[in-house]
Amino acid sequence: MVVVGRNRSRQCRARWRDILVAVSIAVTAALGAPAVITSAAPAPAPAPTTPTAFDLSRYQPVGAGQFRPVDYADNGRAFLRIGGWLCQIGPGYRYVGCQGHPPTAPPRVRGAAISGDQQGPWWVPDTSDYRFGAPSGFAPPTLPVGSRVTIAGVTCTAPGPGVAACRTGSRALIFTRAWHKFYFPAGDTAHSANPAPRYLPPSLRGSAQLPAQPQLPT
């Protein structure tokens, strides 16, 4: 009987030893495992909104022919006045420039231009040979306020008195008598700078990107 009791005691101690070893291994594994931290995915950046100047549903389309002189010297360009600013389109697809010096423009420039939706808007310095106006002397008609015209992949609108706005695809410019605003693709460096936000209307102090070019309303 004494031997049986001792055997049972040894078995109990061995069983508890096995249990403690198993618990110790489990705790060590848990403590040594790398912590897994889950975090919510960052919220996507809000999509750019369409500025009023390029909300084409607000503007009445007009015919393009009146803005295109037929003189060979003008090389197929179109010329128009928008809010008192002289703008020209062409001769290539999605080329546009507007002459003038908004108060927020740097010194010694005489306008801004976009080249084929690949570069710009760039300021045109006084020293550049870039020419504004028709060599033939063609007198550009005025685009009436509340109107828009599309020529060679460029859409220009007349949002209000003293305001000119022209857009290619992902690039655009707005000139007013108080400020200017340029638009260009995200991450792009081939353009001139915008003024500090405090000089712009509150509605235009955000993104310098445009939503995708909408289909022109009829």
Q: Is 43 part of a structural domain of the chain?
A: no
How many helices (H) and strands (E) the chain has is answered by: 1, 11
Torsion of CA 140, 210, 178, 82, to 10 degrees: 10
CA distance 56 to 67: 19
* Residue 176: closest CA among 104, 126, 95: 104
Q: Are residues 83 and 184 in the same domain?
A: yes
pLDDT, tens digit only, all 218 positions of the chain: 444 445 555 554 555 455 444 444 444 444 454 444 445 555 555 567 889 999 999 999 999 999 999 999 999 999 999 999 999 999 999 999 999 999 999 999 999 999 999 999 999 999 999 999 999 999 999 999 999 999 999 999 999 999 999 999 999 999 999 999 999 999 999 999 999 999 999 999 999 999 986 555 55
Q: Is 196 part of a structural domain of the chain?
A: yes
172 burial class (0-12, 13-18, 19+ CB within 10 angstroms)? Answer: buried
Q: b/e map of 84-105 (b: 16 or more CB within 10 Å)?
A: ebbbbbbeeebbbbbbbbbebb
Q: Is 156 part of a structural domain of the chain?
A: yes
Q: Are residues 28 and 63 in the same domain?
A: no
Q: Are residues 140 and 194 in the same domain?
A: yes
Q: What is the pLDDT of residue 16?
A: 47
78 burial class (0-12, 13-18, 19+ CB within 10 angstroms)? Answer: buried
CA distance 114 to 109: 15
Q: Which domain holds residue 140?
A: 52-204
How many residues are there in the chain? 218
Q: Write the CA distances from 151 to 4, 5, 63, 71, integer angstroms.
A: 106, 105, 9, 17
Strands 154-157 and 164-167: antiparallel
Q: Is 218 part of a structural domain of the chain?
A: no
Whole-model pTM: value is 0.78
* Residue 91: closest CA among 130, 141, 144: 130
| Number of domains observed in the structure of the chain | 2
Strand order in the sheet with 164-167: 60-61, 147-151, 154-157, 164-167, 172-175, 180-183
Q: Is 212 part of a structural domain of the chain?
A: no
Strands 96-99 and 85-89: antiparallel
